[in-house]
Amino acid sequence: MTCLALGVLASKNSHADDVVSFGPKETSALFTVGAGSIGNIIAERDAAGVFSIQYRTSKTFELLRLRPELGLLATTDESIYVWVGLSTDITFFGRIVGTLDAAVGGYDKGNGQPLGHAVNFRTGGKVSWRFDNNAQLGVGLHHISNGGLDPINPGTETLAIYYSHPLSF
- Let me know if residue 2 belongs to a domain: no
- Let me know if residue 10 belongs to a domain: no
The Cα–Cα gap between 18 and 153 comes to 43
Pick from 92, 86, 76: nearest CA to 56: 86
pLDDT (0 to 100) of residue 3: 39
- Let me know if residue 7 belongs to a domain: no
Q: How many domains does the chain have?
A: 1
The Cα–Cα gap between 28 and 131 comes to 14
- Let me know if residue 8 belongs to a domain: no
The Cα–Cα gap between 130 and 134 comes to 6
- Let me know if residue 9 belongs to a domain: no
The Cα–Cα gap between 35 and 47 comes to 13
Instruction: Tell me the β-bridge partners of 31.
Output: 55, 165
* Average pLDDT along the chain, 169 residues, taken 10 residues at a time: 38 53 73 93 79 94 87 97 96 94 97 94 97 96 96 93 91
pLDDT (0 to 100) of residue 13: 40
- Let me know if residue 4 belongs to a domain: no
23, 26, 29, 30: CA torsion to nearest 10: -90
pLDDT (0 to 100) of residue 25: 56
pLDDT (0 to 100) of residue 105: 98
- Let me know if residue 1 belongs to a domain: no
What is the domain range of residue 98?
18-133+140-167
- Let me know if residue 6 belongs to a domain: no
Which CATH number fits the domain that encloses residue 67?
2.40.160.20
